[in-house]
A and B are shown apart, each in its own frame.
Chain A
């Protein structure tokens, strides 16, 4: 277990302890809008430079460096937009929700800094439809920010810098967390991923214009980076995973919650077992498996506990750090039910565009339902794997896909993980007669 992170390393959850951290008064009292004030004294390119130096990785899931992404806007094409992806909807993930509820001004300040650095004047805050509290907090924070002159025309009296921030409520579709589907939704269309290329909305995005889409957590880091400098940020965490990162730990742990930890140096064991964080398993229980990065990531087990919470290491081990959601399951977990739960989510959330995802995920869900109802057949386990293979050929990680976006392959991960590790638990659901017939015919071990 590595050394506990000292409390002063908390960057973006530092105001969670203040009851009025979400108000402008509370925010300003704790240094709020200092980053913006400092940014306004710098040239926009220098602000962009600080973000590059900080090597701030996107916190939405893909982990793409924000400073580099910003640089993809084609020169000379205006207008451009900043879109905040607040459609946090990966099961188990709730860090952005807390950031929006507890520290909305920090996000707004981050948006303003990004707009300043990139010369933008229009920002859209897309917040997931179900997060009513976050929407209310953001709406009142926006009102305060406009009132105080932080947002709107001539930010803090600057002659040539004005930003409008528009709050947009989503309609409740998981796929809208995918940035091009989010843009479609923002335009008033059905939330479906756009065809790639273009690979990045930075070239062609909202209303056909260059668009930067950033995650809530990513932008929330900007005030600190500008106030303290990119180098101070880069000094924290691991070499290629700088700063801190917020993880949401849920499931069968003693103290589930959202924890900000140094990025890349903390391990899964730290965050799950450290009493300052999730506090270990419930009394008398042992770890069975855990999902390291949201419902779409392949599952991890005991042997993965000492991996650092860092993109490259987790990728190499065959899963992903994704959206920062760690779901812990102890020895009381019925793996087949857990698996069904996750697959049902993806089957319901498939946008319906690509055949393998639309038909395949719901077929997987139906087979699992049937197995759970005691109607399984021995061949169903191989069938599950073959259906998975037809959605994600080879069932590898990172997944290959027969679909446009990775939603379909996401449903493959839990089945592949669970079947590989806990095949016996699936077989236990098969009616006894079926198993014995299968055994006598030599189809199952």
Chain B
């Protein structure tokens, strides 16, 4: 803040302070080391000046006057006195007022010990109350949804939760009701606070009015041990993990300027429950005799020692390599592991076993070159004021909650224009400048028209189902703002169609990158939005066919890495679909599953089924037994989040630390150690004795990460961005245009919802019940055409199969399209997806 031209000189308690123009006095004073007490002020929300606690003497030349420092911007020569007699009396008075109706039930309040009201009463309060009348009474506590309880007696009406719901989350479902001292926060009648972000209100509540059901009465703050860590989701949300008696009890968001601003989704915040589930694997399991002898023909999984399990796996791998060569071994998954664990498995697979049949994704994301081969954006770039965001991804509100919050803020407050290039409406649609909701499979045509400026409409006046006039207007809007960054959020908008269509659309958008970045303009960059926790780390660590650690291809990086690893695969392998096909055909003798469930997650369930039947020995490293790992021959119990150290890579390529706070259950181990131990039994010594050793090797051998030390990652605060990549984007060639939808059919969009059949959600008791019922959503205008009534349970038929589902009207689904949730507990959309077709067309009929 030393730049004289962009700073404002003020005086705080006699000390000269240089403040940022436009900054609130409360923030400027805090940076200068003077803390002004506050309850309603929150730096990530607009000021409301409700609690009046931050009232201080401010003199702007007309004499000192009491003013709320959260609402007065600094001005030149302003004099602030936070210690004057007048200030002290006003603050005393406000605290006394706040405590009048506060129940002072601190001994039984979860907030006690970390309560701003408690702390500030001690620091600034009058010490005793002169109130002898009866306090206000409300029923306590009441649920505002299934995760959050509200105690209105404790509430001091600071407007933080209600502001968060309205301003930040965009779910204004809690509000003030009544007036005077009967004012209360509440939901609307019969309308719960059903927000994906409700847990944040608990975190920002300055008293114990809002408590989270999973944490109520579990611990006192002073008994918690905590570490700062990175939640393993694609955003890499920064969290504090708090535990007591070796059990994780709470995640709190950390305000990282680059990433999550302190917010978390409820799904991530409360997923810690799954870690403590009784169903966690605690000991290795092998298929064998009841005495624990490994026997591939054994009927059941029995407990075994690590030695038995590891030897069994090592022998199976040795036999497979000796019998059919290294490519008879394949590794699937690993996208949820920390970077170090991914690297260790990658080195084991590619450097020791010699197979390149390795894929962290399950054919439900995007090819690696579309992630690390395109110019990479950061979240902050996407949110840069005045810029443009093209959403070519599934609904971020459902899949990347904190990214949704950041984008929402940028659109609402910073004038970012959002152009949706999606097959259906998203949680941001009502804020979008242009909603180009295309027909499934036809994004590329719209993208080409959008960026190329060559608008050629079909006979219906539309391009890919989007009115040509809308595409033209959006194209003009992009051109008009091309002096500001253009960011494409790139994900897999629908799992009912081939990824090629999305990659094709990305190719169209990137074709004009050079044009857009000419003349010093920031141009276009891509922010990949994939689903699995550390999938970006997995790609960087080489858990993909044809890749080696450090964003380099097998062909290009092989020779250099051979020096460190001794060998690399002789030829590129295949991805998840190829691996499963090979397994189905009996060509895979050892299939290694790293925290992955092809039976549950692979888009082609029949192929996954055949593959698991056809594979020789299945080895799984898992937290839980899932449908796939239950069919494994050897199961390693793996350590989960907060049970091991490591690093995480987010969608920007930002690397941040993950730390351990509890011990893994039973004898569960970190994956890097399992991989290193297996390698040792296969005759290779990695020399790893800690995740730090693994990272040191990554920083030595991975070209994009070369020289990046853990110390540098720590020192960077918000983590270290890895930007280098020697992978080139490969535009797909010869995509067959999709056929027209016939007059009686609907084209399917299948995307994930926040709460689904996912392992963590289903093992967290607070979240498991939140998955919504399965419905087939249609445009209200399509009911007549297809001849069904809203609400009816209909027969849904495709070339892949048929299911039954209730059908519901949803104006966010374009005409001619139908939408279903993917990975849903009640309805498996994969029953409809035909792997032989590029898009999925449905017919619906009454039963």
Residue ranges of A at the interface with B (Cβ–Cβ < 8 Å): 173, 190, 195, 347-356, 358-363, 366-367, 370, 383, 387, 389-391, 393, 400, 402-404
- Report the Cα distance A391→B94, complex, angstroms: 9
Is the CB–CB distance between B93 and A400 below 8 Å? no
> Contacts of B96 on A, CB cut-off 8 Å?
390
Which residue of the partner chain, among B89, B175, B176, contacts A390 with CB atoms under 8 Å?
B89
Question: Looking across the interface, which residue of chain A has its beta carbon closest to that of B92?
Answer: A390
Knowing A195-B49, A352-B183, A393-B89, the reply to whether A359 touches B66 (Cβ < 8 A) is no
Considering only residues 66-96 of chain B, those with a C-beta below 8 Å from chain A are 66, 71, 86, 89-90, 92-94, 96
Give residues in B with beta carbon < 8 Å to A: 47-53, 55, 65-66, 71, 86, 89-90, 92-94, 96-98, 100-101, 130-133, 156-157, 175-176, 178-183
Alpha-carbon separation in the docked complex, A351 to B89 (Å): 24
Shortest distance from the beta carbon of B181 to any chain A beta carbon, whole Å? 4
**B97 close to A393 (CB less than 8 A):** no
A350 contacts B179, CB within 8 Å? Answer: yes
**Residues on A with beta carbons closer than 8 Å to the beta carbon of B132:** 370
Chain B residue with minimal CB distance to A173? Answer: B179
Picked from A349, A359, A390, A404, the residue with its CB within 8 Å of the CB of B101 is A359
Question: Is the Cβ of B93 less than 8 Å from the Cβ of A356?
Answer: yes
Q: Are A347 and B51 in contact (CB under 8 A)?
A: no
CA–CA, A350 and B55, complex, Å = 20
Output the least CB separation between B47 and chain A (Å): 8
Cross-chain contact of A400 among B51, B66, B89, B100 (Cβ < 8 A): B66
Other contacts beyond A195-B48, A389-B93: 20, CB < 8 A: A195-B71, A348-B179, A348-B180, A349-B179, A350-B179, A352-B182, A352-B183, A354-B50, A355-B51, A356-B93, A358-B157, A358-B183, A359-B98, A390-B93, A390-B96, A402-B52, A402-B90, A402-B93, A403-B52, A404-B49
- Taking a contact as CB atoms closer than 8 A, the residue among A347, A363, A367, A402 that contacts B94 in the complex is A402
- Which residues of chain B come closer than 8 Å to A366, judged between CB atoms? 133
In the bound complex, residues from chain B placing their C-beta under 8 Å from that of A195 are 47-49, 71
- Please determine whether B179 and A370 come into contact, CB atoms closer than 8 angstroms: no
Interfacial chain A residues near B183, Cβ < 8 Å: 351-352, 358
B49 near A355: Cβ-Cβ < 8 Å? no
Q: In the complex, which residues of chain B have a beta carbon less than 8 angstroms from the beta carbon of A370?
A: 132-133
- In the complex, chain A residues whose CB is within 8 Å of the CB of B130: 383
Q: In this complex, what residue of B is CB-closest to A369?
A: B133
Closest 6 pairs between A and B when the two form their complex, measured CB to CB: A390-B93, A352-B183, A359-B97, A362-B181, A366-B133, A350-B180
Q: Report whether B97 and A390 are in contact in the complex, using a CB–CB cutoff of 8 Å.
A: yes
In the complex, A356→B91 CA distance in Å?
A: 10
- Choose one: A173, A347, A348, A356; the contact of B52 (CB below 8 Å): A356
Are B181 and A355 in touch, CB under 8 angstroms?
no
Task: Tell whether, in the assembled complex, residue A393 and residue B66 are in contact, meaning their CB atoms are under 8 Å apart.
Answer: yes
- Residue numbers in B under 8 Å from A402 (CB-CB): 52, 55, 66, 90, 93-94
Known contacts A353-B50, A355-B51, A402-B90, A361 near B98 by CB under 8 Å: no
Docked CA distance A182–B110 (Å): 40
Closest to B177 in A: A190
Docked complex Cα distance between A363 and B135 (Å): 10
In the complex, residue of chain B having the shortest beta-carbon distance to the beta carbon of A379 = B130
Selected contact of A358 from candidates B66, B90, B181, CB within 8 Å: B181
A115 to B132, CA, bound (A): 54
Query: In the complex, what residues of A have CB within 8 A of residue B90's CB?
Result: 390, 393, 402
Separation of A387 and B89 alpha carbons in the complex (Å): 11
B82 CB, nearest partner CB in chain A, Å? 15
- How distant is B437 from chain A, measured CB to nearest CB, in Å? 28
Give bound CA distance, A363 to B97, whole Å.
9
Task: Check A352 against B97 for contact (C-beta < 8 Å).
Answer: no
CB distance from A399 to the nearest CB of B (A): 12
Q: Which residues of A contact B131 (CB under 8 A)?
A: 363
Whether A352 pairs with B49 at a CB distance below 8 angstroms is no
- 25 sampled A-B residue pairs with Cβ under 8 A: A195-B71, A349-B179, A351-B179, A352-B181, A352-B182, A353-B50, A355-B50, A355-B156, A359-B97, A359-B181, A360-B97, A362-B181, A363-B97, A363-B131, A367-B133, A383-B130, A390-B94, A390-B97, A393-B86, A393-B89, A400-B66, A402-B66, A402-B90, A402-B93, A402-B94
Kindly state the separation between the CA atoms of A366 and B135 in the bound complex, as whole angstroms: 11
What is the bound-complex CA distance between A347 and B182, given in angstroms? 10
Docked CA distance A173–B183 (Å): 14
Report the bound CA distance from A404 to B52 in whole Å.
9
Contact B157 A352 (CB under 8 A): yes
The residue in chain B whose Cβ has the minimal distance to the Cβ of A390 is B93
Docked-complex contact A355 and B98, CB < 8 angstroms = yes
Closest to B90 in A: A402
A386 to chain B, nearest CB (A): 8
Name the distance in Å between A392's Cβ and chain B's nearest Cβ. 11
Q: How far is the CB of B696 from chain A (nearest CB, A)?
A: 54
Q: Is the CB of A362 within 8 A of B180?
A: yes
Contact of B180 (CB < 8 Å), options: A358, A383, A389, A390: A358
Q: How far is the CA of A173 from the CA of B178 in the complex (A)?
A: 11
How far apart sit A360 and B132, CA to CA, in the bound complex (Å)? 14
Looking at B93, B157, B179, the one whose CB has the most chain A CB atoms below 10 A away is B179
Contacts of B133 in A (CB 8 A): 363, 366-367, 370
What B residues does A383 contact at CB under 8 A?
Answer: 130
CB distance from A343 to the nearest CB of B (A): 12
Q: Name the B residues within 8 Å of A352 (CB-CB).
A: 157, 176, 178-183
B41 vs chain A, min Cβ distance (A): 13
Residues of B within 8 A of A393 (CB): 66, 86, 89-90
Q: Closest chain B residue to A197 by CB distance?
A: B71
Least Cβ–Cβ distance between B807 and chain A, in angstroms: 33
**Across the interface, which residues of B come within 8 angstroms of A348, CB to CB?**
179-180
Give the residues in chain B near A353, CB-CB below 8 Å. 48, 50
- Who on chain B is nearest to A391 by CB? B93
B94 with A355: CB separation less than 8 A: yes
User: Which residues on the A side are within 8 Å of B179 (C-beta)?
Assistant: 173, 348-352
Q: What residues on A are CB-neighbors of B175 within 8 Å?
A: 190
- B89 partner residues in chain A, CB cutoff 8 A: 389-390, 393
Q: How far is the CB of A189 from chain B (nearest CB, A)?
A: 10
Contact between chains at A355 and B53 (CB < 8 Å):
yes
Q: How far is the CA of A268 from the CA of B131 in the complex (A)?
A: 40
B81 to chain A, nearest CB (A): 14
Closest to B180 in A: A350
Q: How far is the CA of A367 from the CA of B90 in the complex (A)?
A: 20
- Known contacts A190-B176, A393-B66, A393-B89; decide if A356 and B97 are in contact (CB<8 Å): yes
Q: Nearest Cβ distance between residue A206 and chain B, in whole angstroms?
A: 20
Q: Report the nearest A residue to B50, measured CB to CB.
A: A353
Residues on A with beta carbons closer than 8 Å to the beta carbon of B180: 347-352, 358, 361-362
Which residues of B sit under 8 angstroms from A351, Cβ to Cβ? 179-180, 183
A241 vs B133: C-alpha distance when bound (angstroms) = 47
Tell me, in angstroms, the Cα distance from A364 to B51 when the chains sit together.
Answer: 19
A370 to B90, CA, bound (A): 25
Shortest CB distance A195–B (Å): 6
Give A329 Cβ to nearest chain B Cβ, in Å: 25
Shortest Cβ distance from residue B167 to the other chain A in the assembled complex, whole angstroms? 14
Interface centre among B92, B93, B101 (most CB of A within 10 A): B93
Task: A352 to B55: give the CA distance in the assembly, Å.
Answer: 18
CB-CB under 8 A from A347, the residues of chain B are: 180-181
Whole-angstrom CA separation of A195 from B133 in the bound complex: 32
* CB proximity of B44 to chain A, nearest CB, Å: 18
Closest approach, in angstroms, between the C-beta of B805 and any C-beta of chain A? Answer: 37
A275 CA to B66 CA, complexed, in Å = 47
Chain B residues with CB under 8 Å of A358's CB are 97, 157, 180-181, 183
A393 to B93, CA, bound (A): 10
Q: Chain A residues near B50 (CB, 8 Å)? A: 353-355
Q: How far is the CA of A387 from the CA of B176 in the complex (A)?
A: 25
